[in-house]
C-alpha cells in the first residue's frame, strides 16, 4: 500500500482566494507529480519534481506553482483561484528506479465558486 497523503480531501472556496493543496509521501520517493482530472476525462500533468529544489511545468498550464523544499513534501499553490480551476487534483510519486510504478494519493476535489 502506498503512503501518499493529500489534504484537504474536499475544498470549496470563493474566486480570488489563494489556496495550497498539500501532498506528502513517506516512501522516500524522489519523483513527485501533480495531475489535474475533470470527471470522465484524462489525466493532465501540471507539475513534476525529480528531487529537492527541482520543479518543472507539465503539459497543462494551470496557473499554479509548486515547491519541493523537502523530499516528502510537494505542495501546489493557486495564487488566485477561478471557477475554471474547479477539478480533481491528484498527487503521485515513484522511485527513481527504472520501471517503477506510480502511486497516487486520494486526491483533492476543488470547487471554486
Give strand ranges (E) for 8-106: 10-13, 19-25, 31-37, 44-51, 54-57, 64-66, 76-78, 87-94, 103-104
Q: Mark the segment that binds another protein (CB under 8 A) among 14-22, 60-68, 71-79, 103-111.
A: 103-111
Lay out the sheet containing 19-25: strands in order across: 4-7, 19-25, 76-78, 64-66
Binding mask 22-61 for another protein (x = CB under 8 A): -----------x-----xxxxx-x----------------
Residue 71 and residue 80: Cα distance in Å, rounded?
Answer: 26
Q: Quick check: 11 binds another protein (CB under 8 A)?
A: no
Residue 44 and residue 34: Cα distance in Å, rounded?
Answer: 8
- Identify the residue among 21, 76, 90, 112 touching another protein (CB under 8 A): 90
Q: Mark the segment that binds another protein (CB under 8 A) among 15-23, 66-74, 75-83, 101-109.
A: 101-109
Give the residue with the Cβ less far from another protein, 37 or 67: 37
Q: Quick check: 103 binds another protein (CB under 8 A)?
A: yes
Amino acid at each position: 500500500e502506498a503512503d501518499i497523503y493529500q489534504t484537504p480531501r474536499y475544498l470549496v472556496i470563493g474566486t480570488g482566494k489563494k489556496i495550497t493543496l498539500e501532498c506528502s509521501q513517506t516512501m522516500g520517493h524522489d519523483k513527485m507529480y501533480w495531475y489535474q482530472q475533470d470527471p470522465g476525462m484524462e489525466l493532465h500533468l501540471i507539475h513534476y519534481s525529480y528531487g529537492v529544489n527541482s520543479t518543472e511545468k507539465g503539459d497543462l498550464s494551470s496557473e499554479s506553482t509548486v515547491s519541493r523544499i523537502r523530499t516528502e513534501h510537494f505542495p501546489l499553490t493557486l495564487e488566485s483561484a477561478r471557477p475554471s480551476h474547479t477539478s480533481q487534483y491528484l498527487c503521485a510519486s515513484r522511485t527513481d528506479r527504472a520501471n517503477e510504478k506510480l502511486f497516487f494519493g486520494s486526491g483533492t476535489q476543488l470547487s471554486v465558486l
